[in-house]
Amino acid sequence: MRFIYVLLFVGSSLCAMESQSPDLFLAKIARGDVAGVGSMIAGGHNPRSYEKSEPLVVAFSIEDQEKRGAIVQRLLEEGADPNGYKPMSTFYERRGRGFCVSLLGYVAGQGWDREVRSFLLCGADPDGVDSYGETVLARSLRSYRCLGHLKKFGHFVPVNMSEMLVQKLLLMYGADPAKRDRFGINVLDFVHSSDVELKGMVQDFEAYRAVHKAEFAVLQDEFADLKAMQEYRAAVRQRGLFNVHNGIYPPGPHYLRRAPSAVDDRTVDRKRKRGGDSEE
């Protein structure tokens, strides 16, 4: 009899664990368990089943940059909403009101260029706004504190343009610096006049890009590589690794696909070994 009670207890515990699988999924995300998150997704767990972009919001709390970037990228590739919002206050969120920022605006404000790339590649709106109508570009500049308020020993410190990577990525994807928030303010209104290069980039991005052609060519190549890897991983999930690597399903980076001529040569060699090549 005692044995039966033990079995019933173990069974009920397993059922309880199964019913709490969403919490387990979020717990693995919070721990930065890249392999665990991937295995649960491969097992059929859908990141899109959550409200308010909860898996992505939890992933933002990961301190390790590599793990955070990998999990955010995987969640976005699996269909998590790139245009969701992150509440900035749990207290007001529970009461149905409060300040919210777009997910892209949050990662841009943190200066996470890898996550910004992932969001943009997965269709995030570069002009998404927060509760006050502030755009992603404006928020990223405010967070960088380069609006004329950054001072050192009473003197204005110009912006280091080499650190403006996130802003360049947003402008490359069509962010509009002239878009105004609900108070009628846009990026052009608060960029300090002493930041000549930054002001020039914001006012006429195409002219700035033409002058710095080599730098933006590198950024464009990085985007192309990331896009190719994204297509490759999607193809592997849909068609299988063998089919993709043997050229049956072509999308993917060129260095992971075998040339058709090589496939044909291998096919001919296999036929000859089997004695199937009887043309002569």
Contacts of 211 (CB under 8 A, 6+ apart): none
Task: Find the radius of gyration of the CA atoms of the chain.
Answer: 25
Stretch among 168-172, 259-263, 276-280 having the lowest mean pLDDT: 259-263
Q: What is the rounded CA–CA span in Å between residue 165 and residue 207?
A: 17
**Side-chain half-sphere of 224: how many Cα atoms within 13 Å?**
8
| Domains of the chain, residue spans | 1-80, 82-211, 221-275
> What is the chain's mean pLDDT, rounded?
76
- pLDDT tier at 101 (50, 70, 90 boundaries)? confident
Q: Which pLDDT band holds residue 252 (cuts at 50, 70, 90)?
A: very low
Q: Is-above-0.85 flag for pTM?
A: no
Query: What CATH architecture applies to the domain 82-211?
Result: Alpha Horseshoe (1.25)
Map residue 201 onto helix, strand or coil: helix
Burial (CB < 10 A; 0-12, 13-18, 19+), residue 118, is buried
> Residue 17: which pLDDT band, with cuts at 50, 70 and 90?
very low
111-130 pLDDT per residue, tens: 899 999 999 999 899 988 88
Q: What's the mean pLDDT in 13-34?
A: 70
Of 265, 235, 261, residue with least CA distance to 250: 235
Which is nearest to 117 in space by CA: 37, 219, 46? Answer: 219
Are 175 and 136 spatial neighbours (Cβ–Cβ below 8 Å)? yes
- Model confidence pLDDT, tens digit, residues 176-220: 998 888 778 888 887 777 778 888 898 899 999 999 999 999 999
